[in-house]
């Protein structure tokens, strides 16, 4: 927080803030924030012009106290004069930068950014819970998540699985992860599981459908499927709230009762 009376502390904080901004603006995912950033830079530039001008005035005001490390006040006066000239030049250039940023702000404020459509979707492959999830949990414990993903990938029937997921609403913008879930990925697969609630699910990343493209008849050859003891999903898909995107309602109720979503 600014002190308004300690120039050293406030200068350090301003430098750190600009350092952070330099990193934060290296790659901006949401272009809608740039207008506000430019506006804040415009205000900052105005203050920088004021600061440099005031530094020049303070050098002039304190000139009688100036000397050098060798005790030469005449040399110090020359140094003060050069410092004041440089600070006033900087202040003038800040004024020029302010004009340019003001123009940039005016133009940027007229830009309307369209939302970026996700290039991928995620479809649910299989969800297991309770005793059905025990073998997969054992694989995770003994061999790791990659082995569990390879095992569950046996439920992936390619295009048939994608069509089934779309029909039942198991298609999402991002791979799932809630407060009760752990997430692991391998290639196009994402494994979501909960040790507390003893369930596990696998999803696969697919290319986002192009609504203007004609339907394709191309299918992906099915992968071999191990014989599951229950269906792919134990309940209907849910959207929104704290629920995991392919977790049945009954599991959500247990999770909420245990406070895992708080």
**Residues 17, 79 within the same domain:** yes
pLDDT (tens digit, 9 = 90+) per residue, 125-166?
A: 999 999 999 999 999 999 999 999 999 999 999 999 888 888
**Residues 145, 245 within the same domain:** yes
**Residues 93, 130 within the same domain:** no
**Residues 146, 231 within the same domain:** yes
| Residue 204 counted as domain residue | yes
Higher-confidence residue: 13 or 218? 13
| Residue 54 counted as domain residue | yes
**Residues 93, 191 within the same domain:** no
| Residue 113 counted as domain residue | no
**Residues 55, 127 within the same domain:** no
**Residues 43, 128 within the same domain:** no
- Residue 179 confidence (pLDDT): 72
Number of structural domains in the chain: 2
Q: Show which of 86, 108, 130 is a domain's final residue.
A: 108
- Residue 119 confidence (pLDDT): 78
| Residue 77 counted as domain residue | yes
Q: Environment class of residue 95 by beta-carbon count within 10 Å: exposed (0-12), middle (13-18) or buried (19+)?
A: middle
Residue 1 has pLDDT above 90, yes or no: no
**Residues 129, 251 within the same domain:** yes
**Residues 95, 172 within the same domain:** no
| Residue 234 counted as domain residue | yes
pLDDT (tens digit, 9 = 90+) per residue, 216-252?
A: 443 444 444 444 434 445 433 333 333 344 444 444 5
Task: Find the domain containing 203 and state its range.
Answer: 120-208+218-257
**Residues 133, 189 within the same domain:** yes
**Residues 175, 47 within the same domain:** no
**Residues 227, 251 within the same domain:** yes
| Residue 2 counted as domain residue | no
pLDDT (tens digit, 9 = 90+) per residue, 51-67?
A: 999 999 999 999 999 99
Q: Show which of 55, 83, 108 is a domain's final residue.
A: 108
Q: Show which of 80, 108, 136 is a domain's final residue.
A: 108
| Residue 262 counted as domain residue | no
- Residue 80 confidence (pLDDT): 96
């Amino acid at each position: 927080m600014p002190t308004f009376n300690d120039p050293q502390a406030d200068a350090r904080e301003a430098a750190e803030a600009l350092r952070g901004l330099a990193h934060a603006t290296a790659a901006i995912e949401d272009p809608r924030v740039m207008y506000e950033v430019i506006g804040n830079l415009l205000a900052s530039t105005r203050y920088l012009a004021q600061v440099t001008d005031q530094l020049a005035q303070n050098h002039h005001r304190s000139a009688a106290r100036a000397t050098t490390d060798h005790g030469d006040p005449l040399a110090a006066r020359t140094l003060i004069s050069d410092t004041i000239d440089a600070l006033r030049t900087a202040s003038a250039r800040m004024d020029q930068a302010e004009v340019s940023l003001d123009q940039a702000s005016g133009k940027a404020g007229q830009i309307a950014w369209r939302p970026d459509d996700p290039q991928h979707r995620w479809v649910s492959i299989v969800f297991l819970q309770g005793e059905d999830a025990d073998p997969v949990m054992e694989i995770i414990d003994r061999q790791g998540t990659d082995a569990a993903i390879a095992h569950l990938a046996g439920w992936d029937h390619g295009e048939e699985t994608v069509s089934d997921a779309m029909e039942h609403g198991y298609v999402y913008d991002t791979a799932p992860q809630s407060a009760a879930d752990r997430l692991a990925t391998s290639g196009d697969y994402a494994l979501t599981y909960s040790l507390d609630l003893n369930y596990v699910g696998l999803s696969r990343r697919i290319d986002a459908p192009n609504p203007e493209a004609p339907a394709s008849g191309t299918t992906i050859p099915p992968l071999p499927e191990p014989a599951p003891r229950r269906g792919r999903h134990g309940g209907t898909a849910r959207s929104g709230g704290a629920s995991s995107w392919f977790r049945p309602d009954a599991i959500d109720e247990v999770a909420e009762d245990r406070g895992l979503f708080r």
